[in-house]
Amino acid sequence: MLDARGESCPIPVIMTKKLMASKEDYYEVMVDAGAPLENVTRFAESQGYKVEAEAKGGDYLLKISK
């Protein structure tokens, strides 16, 4: 699981992009609420993945799958 919590914009998206270079079918990414949650979700969807966000305290676990 990638933990991108607390990183400034747009680093969570860059981390996710690097992770996805391995072209697997399933990833898990932890992000903060707000901009990172939206930005990583938007990026993953633009790459043809489906994203399910699960609230974990104030943070979100994104389940990113093909």
Partner 1 sequence: MEKKNDKLFIIIAGLVIGVIAAALAFAGNPKNMGFCIACFLRDTAGGLGLHKAPPVQYIRPEIIGIVIGAFVAAFAKKEFGSKGGSAPMTRFVLGFFAMVGCLMFLGCPFRMILRLAGGDLNAVFGLVGFVAGIFCGIFFLKNGYSLKRTYTLTKSEGYWMVILEAVTFVLLIARPAFIAFSEEGPGSMHAAIALSLGAGLIVGVLAQRTRLCMVGGTRDLVLFKETRLMLGFIAILVAALVTNLVLGGFKLGMVEQPIAHTDGLWNALGMLLVGFACVLLGGCPLRQLVMSGEGNADSAVTVLGLIVGAAFCHNFGLASSPEGPTPAGKIAVIIGIVVVAGIGVLNTYLKADTAEPARDAA
Q: Is 9 in the site for partner 1 (CB under 8 A)?
A: yes
Residue 47: how many other CB atoms lie within 10 Å: 13
Q: Is 48 in the site for partner 1 (CB under 8 A)?
A: no
3-state class of 29 per DSSP?
Answer: strand
Q: Is 27 in the site for partner 1 (CB under 8 A)?
A: no
Question: Looking at residue 48, what DSSP letter applies?
Answer: T
- H or E element that contains 3: strand 2-3
Q: Is 28 in the site for partner 1 (CB under 8 A)?
A: no
Q: Is 14 in the site for partner 1 (CB under 8 A)?
A: yes
Which residues contribute to the site for partner 1 (CB under 8 A)? 5-11, 13-14, 17, 32-35, 38-39, 41-43, 45-46, 58
